[in-house]
Amino acid sequence: MKYTTLPNTDIKVSKICLGTMTWGNQNTEADGHEQMDYALEKGVNFFDTAELYAVPATAETYGSTEKIIGSWFKKTGNRDKVVLASKIAGAGPYTAHIRKDGFSKRGITEAIENSLQRLQTDYIDLYQLHWPSRGVNCFGVRDYPYKTSTKEAENHLEILETLQDFIKQGKIKHIGLSNETPWGTMKYLEISENHNLPRMATIQNSYSLIHRAYEYGMSEVSMRENIGLLVYSPLAQGVLSGKYMNGKLPEGARGTLFPNFIARYRTPGAEQAVIEYKKLADKHGITMTQMSLAFINQLPFVTSNIIGATTLSQLKENINSINIDLSDEIIDEINAVHNLFPNPAA
């Protein structure tokens, strides 16, 4: 395994992070425990979860993933071996079953205390805001939703002051963003500096070979402001494994069970790009999964690459991508495909 540090901290984290969002729906508690055992054995010390998991988010599965992680901590005693990240759910219809006051002081307090209880731990190493409460272009929204974005405003100062209180209590160690924009990220940094409040260490956004929009503005923010990217959906919800090529819908696959998860990654342009990436991987004797993940692993603005799997064989292949170093030739060929099909997935 390769390691880096969370920006502006002394916390060492693996370049591969274990994603957990299927545990409690597609995966059982036993599956989750098996994945954590294997990942830790292979040097993965960074786990990411969220209060709303498992996905799709429902009242019935709310908090189930954190409970699975908590039961594993209790069974194994491995809490001190893991850098644990979790998130508070953003506001909106999708999470109305969780709470309606978003990132209010009351909402943050409730979210942290409940997550700590489910996770059976006294602290969370990295606590993240899952998505902004204002309208932004994420989750398949390609363009800025200017008609609705101004109807909601973020209470940045209250959020940071509330999180500072929990840091002082030792219940969270560091804080981060998710699904944020350059403006939102810089706004938090400005308020942190002006009010001597905790600084955002990371940002968890979508990035993959067919969705590289992070490079439009956020990559520069990451590098100049030292905010590390935690990549989610690096395989575009499995599309970049090739298993959905030619209209296939494998039994039990996430895209088969929940088609909305992969719809944004199956545009005509995205499907053409996947065909070209498959040819490229075959040419160099590696799987498209390994190539897709290895490309992300070596990007300079990436702190960790969040991989998720529903089977242990998938997990093994994903983790093994850390051992693959792509040559300049392959990277040039990847970028040539990207130039032909720039960001076909929203």
Q: What is the DSSP letter of 253?
A: -
**Residue 161 near residue 103, CB atoms below 8 Å:** no
Alpha helices in the chain (DSSP H): 29-41, 64-76, 105-119, 146-149, 156-169, 182-195, 218-225, 254-257, 260-263, 268-283, 288-297, 312-320, 328-340
Catalytic annotation, residues:
53
Dig out the tokens for 285 from the structure: 């004797």
> DSSP readout, 57-120?
P-TTTTTHHHHHHHHHHHHH--GGG-EEEEEEPPSSGGGTTT-SSTTSHHHHHHHHHHHHHHHT
Beta bridge partners of 211: 208
Neighbours of 312 (CB within 10 A): 13
